[in-house]
Amino acid sequence: MIYQYVAHNESGKVIKGKLTARSEEVATELLSYAGYQAINLKRFVPFLSLDRLWPHLFPVKPAEIILIFRKLALLLESGMDIITSLELLREQTSNRNLKKVWGEVIADLRSGNQLSVALGKHPGVFPPIYCRLLGMGEQSGDLETVLRQIADYMEKEIAAAKSIKSAMTYPLITFVVAMVVIGVLVTFVLPTFAALYGSLGVELPLAARLMLAVSGTLQSHWAYFMLASLALAGSVYIYLKSSDGRYRWDKLSLRLPVLGRINHLNQLARYCRSMSLLLGAGLSLTEVMPLVVQGTSNQAVARALKDVQQDMVKGEGLSLPMAKNALFLPMMVQMIKVGEETGNLDTTLLAVARSYETEAEDKTRSLITLIQPAMTLIVGLIIGLIAMSLSSALYSIYGQGF
């Protein structure tokens, strides 16, 4: 691998350059042998290179990590050393990006690094919370159990994400089909009727006139509507990518009717399960909170947790700062208070997580049951309105003696 470095020699002169080394530690040693003290050292990746494209061309799916962690735990329990186990798993991996990552992890392990440190160099694949847990497992000598706990945790996260996607898949498909049908009617059917009615010179009902006016406007100015739609979509996308836009959208996602409640419960369940896992591994609250905040995808929840963290550092505990923010539900706050008083906070948090996950699953099933007939009714009303407009126009023609 090629590393780009900034270093200074014995006289204090700053030098920049590149060198080839097997790992970052080896690169540092090579600089030291040459009489240089490294100031900054990082891998050199050209602007246009496969290293930049691999993660996008071959993204690593969480299901692949889950399977590998379970296999690794099984191999370690059978008595196989960790490097041999990873080499075997690397040969069985079909994902090119993941295979490349495992190659670098194996090289780091051979250089003397621990597994948690080696995986921590790839935060896009292995979040810091997993690496910290693995570090605790390495210290306690129970790495196999921690690997399985992480796999169970990831499976719960995937299940929560799938519940939201399953609730939105049917409405999205129905909406797309409805837009296609409406587009066909507006583009091909209505213009034909407009030409027919224009040649007859009859007075059409209001609904038909409005429908034909919309069709004519879209036909004659479709390019402007397309540009306006693209500009609007681009503006919304750019705003949502900003910190303020992301925060507002995440906050809104927690307040949407029905779906917001499901998202809210899933976010709190994920937080409680993460804390329970980290506390059960032996970390303190002051160590756990930064990891949980860093692993939270919803910015509104992350900001609320940061406020809790600041008050917790002041000595207010965990439940009292949470009670100040309505984002943390009363049952959760009360259970955490009981956990603090009894010294079983990890067990209490796990119970809260399971309760919220069950409630979220129930609400998701109810939402899917309601969405299907509701979307069918909405599509039927839209198409029925168009059909009635055309039918009323025909009756108007017959009424005028044609």
Q: Distance between the two ends of the chain, CA-based, in angstroms? A: 83
Burial class (CB in 10 A: 0-12, 13-18, 19+), 188: exposed
166 shares a domain with 137: no
- How far apart are the C-alpha atoms of 38 and 50, rounded to whole Å? 27
- The dihedrals phi and psi of 34, each to the nearest 5 degrees, come to -80, -5
| Shared-domain flag, residues 391 and 354 | yes
* Dihedral sign, Cα of residue 123, residue 128, residue 130, residue 133: positive
Digits of tens for pLDDT over the chain (402 positions)?
677 778 877 777 777 877 777 667 777 777 777 777 777 787 765 554 555 555 556 677 888 899 999 999 999 998 889 999 999 998 888 888 888 888 889 988 988 889 999 998 888 888 888 888 898 888 888 889 999 989 988 888 888 777 777 767 777 787 788 778 777 776 777 667 767 766 766 666 676 677 777 777 777 787 888 899 899 999 998 998 888 889 999 999 898 888 889 889 989 998 899 899 888 888 888 888 888 888 888 899 999 999 999 998 888 888 999 999 999 999 999 999 999 989 899 999 999 999 998 998 888 888 878 877 877 787 778 777 777 766 766 666 666 555
Q: Is the same domain home to 36 and 70?
A: no
Check whether residue 398 and residue 283 sit in a common domain. Answer: yes
Name the phi and psi angles at 3, rounded to 5. -120, 140
Contact residues for 263 (Cβ-Cβ < 8 A; gap 6+): 164, 253, 254, 256, 298
- 134 and 143 in contact (C-beta within 8 Å)? yes
Is the same domain home to 215 and 327? yes
Residue that the structure tokens 């306690």 belong to: 140
Length of the chain: 402
- Answer whether 219's CB lies under 8 Å from 187's CB: yes
CATH number of the domain bearing residue 69? 1.20.81.30
Is residue 218 domain-shared with residue 332, that is, in the same domain? yes
**pTM higher than 0.85, yes or no?**
no
Domain boundary among 138, 154, 170: 154
Are 6 and 67 members of one domain? no
Say if residue 190 is in the same domain as residue 322. yes
pLDDT number for residue 44? 67
- Contact status, residue 216 vs residue 194, Cβ threshold 8 Å: yes
Q: Do 384 and 377 touch, CB atoms closer than 8 A?
A: no
CA 164 to chain centre: 12
User: Positive or negative CA dihedral for 330, 332, 338, 341?
Assistant: negative
Which of 129, 154, 179 marks a domain boundary?
154
Q: In what order do the strands lie in the sheet with 14-20?
A: 14-20, 2-8, 37-43
Domain boundary among 154, 176, 202: 154
| Pair (221, 331) in one structural domain | yes
* Spatial distance between the Cα atoms of 150 and 130, rounded to a whole number of angstroms: 7
Where residue 201 falls (left for φ over 0; alpha for ψ -120 to 50; beta otherwise) is left
* 147 in the same domain as 268: no
Give the pLDDT score at 336: 92
Residues 238, 242: Cα–Cα separation, whole Å: 7
Residues 194 and 305 in one domain: yes
pLDDT of residue 383: 74
Same domain, residue pair 296 and 202: yes
390 touches 208 (CB < 8 A) = yes
| Total number of domains constituting the chain | 3
Q: What range does the domain containing 314 cover?
A: 160-402
